[in-house]
């Protein structure tokens, strides 16, 4: 099957499309899914005075290497195509993700997580580039479906990790073997697919994405880290110690993401990019402020549900915009993902300082307040007409 363009573009079949859609689960698996297990990992190495910090860094390290390697991976995809990068990343993801199961050192586990982050970059960027190579009319819907797969997977994975954590800290690392199931699907992808000519071609040189979007992506990267990596520690401060109960807010976030991403295509058509960026900031900001005021699990769950509804809009909105406008699509997506995740290595240190100086709730108040103020400011600018011109690539 081919479509018009500068060259014939091979469109993946149903199994290939499924492989592209499932690429979104790997950041969730590799960067966030271990959140409910981190307190158990820290407890298993309690003799180490820095065990809790190292446990949080185990979650953040993969995000750091993901961020550093994403632009490089984008360049590799531009040169060799997304299929070979995807296949190699899947194999390596399964290998490095499960290695901690047989390790007994937090620093060594930390190193494996750094390698895992590179694998996540390869799998995610290749999948997003593959969707970006599809016909323009299909991209927003499929980017929404791609994000929806993350939500569906998280509904299953977070409770599973919580349950496995009750049996031991090692078992949750086995979830990375899921990558092996995607390899047969990815093998059906076309050897080389050229993206359809863009409907509009602004200044698509350089990074492939505008600096204002990179700044926004970096901030959202920190905000999205609050839930998966700090929520389990926060709920423990309000008396919730069972890992299965600690996973409930994360499951609620997954349900919120699933709800929003199911309608992303329609929302994009109705409100446009700026409107959805505003929605991301306002919903996540208000939700985090409410979460920081929670004294019981039910209120915290509802608050984090609102946070997830806002955050779920951001990635498909960003990727869809880049795919529609950038002539360096894979590089632009790589830099955007880099900006989003590079800052996350700083989150454990920021959260520790805020928590120790003003209590765990301060983490939610600080990030929530910044998000809400930024969102309201962006809404005001858009209302006056300053936001009518959507941010463009560099």
The arithmetic mean of pLDDT across residues 365-373, rounded, is 92
Q: What angle do CA 77, 203, 138 make, to 5 degrees?
A: 55
- The whole-number pLDDT of residue 225 equals 79
The pLDDT-based confidence of 97 (bands split at 50, 70, 90) is very high
| Cα dihedral 240, 174, 305, 27 in deg (nearest 10) | 140
Which helix (DSSP H) or strand (DSSP E) does residue 378 occupy? Answer: helix 361-384
Place of tokens 């307040």: 369
Residue 124: C-alpha distances to residues 170, 248, 265 (Å):
25, 26, 20
Phi, psi of 319, rounded to the nearest 5 degrees? -65, -40
- The whole-number pLDDT of residue 239 equals 79
Mean pLDDT over the full length of the chain: 83
Whole-prediction pTM value?
Answer: 0.74
The arithmetic mean of pLDDT across residues 28-49, rounded, is 82
The arithmetic mean of pLDDT across residues 293-318, rounded, is 89
Dihedral (CA of 88, 94, 100, 102) sign: negative
CA separation for the pair 22, 390 (Å, rounded):
29
Residue 186: is its pLDDT beyond 90?
A: yes
pLDDT tens-digit series, residues 205-240: 567 777 888 899 999 988 887 877 777 778 877 877
Nearest to 219 by CA among 378, 374, 355, 62: 374
pLDDT exceeding 90 applies to what percent of the chain?
28
Nearest to 143 by CA among 40, 250, 276: 276
Domains of the chain: 14-384 (1.20.1250.20)
- The whole-number pLDDT of residue 4 equals 37
The answer to whether 126 and 103 have CB atoms below 8 angstroms apart is: no
pLDDT tens-digit series, residues 330-351: 888 888 888 887 777 677 788 7
Rg (Cα) of the chain, in Å, rounded? 20
pLDDT tens-digit series, residues 98-133: 999 998 888 899 999 999 999 999 999 999 989 988
Residue 376: is its pLDDT beyond 90?
A: yes
Residue 9: is its pLDDT beyond 60?
A: no
What angle do the packed helices 82-98 and 179-186 form, to 10 degrees? 160
CA separation for the pair 347, 363 (Å, rounded):
10
């Amino acid at each position: 099957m081919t479509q018009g363009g500068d060259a014939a573009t091979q469109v993946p079949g149903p199994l290939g499309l499924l492989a592209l859609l499932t690429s979104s689960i790997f950041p969730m698996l590799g960067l966030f899914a271990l959140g409910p297990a981190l307190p158990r990992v820290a407890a298993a190495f309690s003799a180490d005075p820095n065990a809790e910090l190292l446990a949080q860094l185990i979650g953040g390290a993969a995000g750091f290497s993901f961020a550093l390697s994403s632009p490089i991976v984008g360049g590799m995809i531009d040169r060799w195509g997304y299929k070979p990068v995807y296949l190699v990343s899947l194999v390596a993801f399964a290998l490095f993700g499960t290695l901690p199961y047989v390790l007994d050192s937090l620093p060594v586990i930390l190193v494996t997580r750094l390698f895992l982050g590179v694998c996540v970059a390869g799998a995610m960027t290749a999948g997003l580039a593959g969707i970006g190579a599809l016909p323009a009319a299909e991209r927003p819907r499929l980017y929404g479906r791609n994000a929806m797969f993350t939500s569906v997977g998280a509904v299953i994975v977070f409770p599973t990790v919580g349950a496995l954590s009750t049996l031991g800290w090692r078992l949750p690392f086995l979830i990375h073997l899921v990558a092996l199931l995607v390899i047969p699907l990815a093998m059906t992808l076309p050897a080389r697919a050229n993206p359809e000519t863009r409907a509009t071609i602004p200044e698509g040189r350089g990074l492939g994405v505008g600096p204002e979007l990179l700044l926004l992506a970096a901030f959202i990267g920190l905000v999205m880290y609050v839930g998966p990596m700090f929520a389990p520690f926060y709920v423990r401060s309000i008396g919730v110690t069972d890992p299965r109960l600690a996973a409930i807010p994360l499951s609620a976030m997954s349900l919120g993401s699933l709800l929003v991403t199911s309608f992303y295509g329609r929302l994009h058509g109705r409100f446009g990019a700026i409107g959805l960026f505003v929605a991301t900031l306002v919903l996540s900001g208000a939700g985090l402020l409410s979460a920081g005021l929670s004294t019981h699990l039910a209120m915290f769950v509802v608050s984090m549900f609102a946070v997830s509804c806002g955050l779920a809009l951001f990635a498909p909105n960003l990727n869809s915009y880049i795919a529609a406008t950038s002539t360096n699509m894979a590089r632009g997506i790589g830099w955007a993902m880099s900006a989003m995740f590079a800052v996350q290595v700083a989150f454990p240190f920021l959260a520790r300082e805020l928590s120790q100086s003003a209590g765990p709730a301060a983490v939610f108040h600080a990030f929530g307040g910044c998000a809400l103020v930024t969102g309201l400011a962006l809404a005001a600018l858009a209302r006056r007409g300053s936001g009518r011109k959507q941010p463009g690539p560099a």
